[in-house]
Structure 1
Amino acid sequence: MGLFRLLFWIALIVVAIWLWRRLVKPRPDAPRNTSEAPPMVRCAHCGIHVPASEALSSEERWYCSRLHLEQGPKRP
């Protein structure tokens, strides 16, 4: 009877620790939906990527600033 009681308490402690760790452990966030990210475009002058809503367009090219728009595309 003593061995059964010992095994019972060990099992109870293991289950309690498992439940406690499961409740306290932070759950990983859901994978971020990539559709939430704004569409990005590449500056024809410097190559930096900027949101399309902030970029300036000229002759089917995108630029990150007015200065780069005026300077035009980078030449090799």
Structure 2
Amino acid sequence: MGKLFFYILIALLIYWIIKNRHSKKDSDISDLDSIEDTVSCVHCGVYLPKSEAINHQDKYFCCQEHCDQFLSSSS
């Protein structure tokens, strides 16, 4: 009876370790999904998330003012 209890305890321990490893991998994958591409402002060179940048003809700017300054200087 004692050996049976011991084997069940070992099996549960192994199951718990395997379950924790899989949940850790899943959380690592979800962390990677939240990583966003960064772009550099053409005017000042500051890096910012692509979703916050102003895009004009495949050029990225950190604010509307820099976009306007770049467009007026290149004309």
- TM-score, scaled to structure 1: 0.48
TM-score (norm 2): 0.49
Considering only CA atoms, is the larger Rg found in Structure 1 or Structure 2?
A: 1
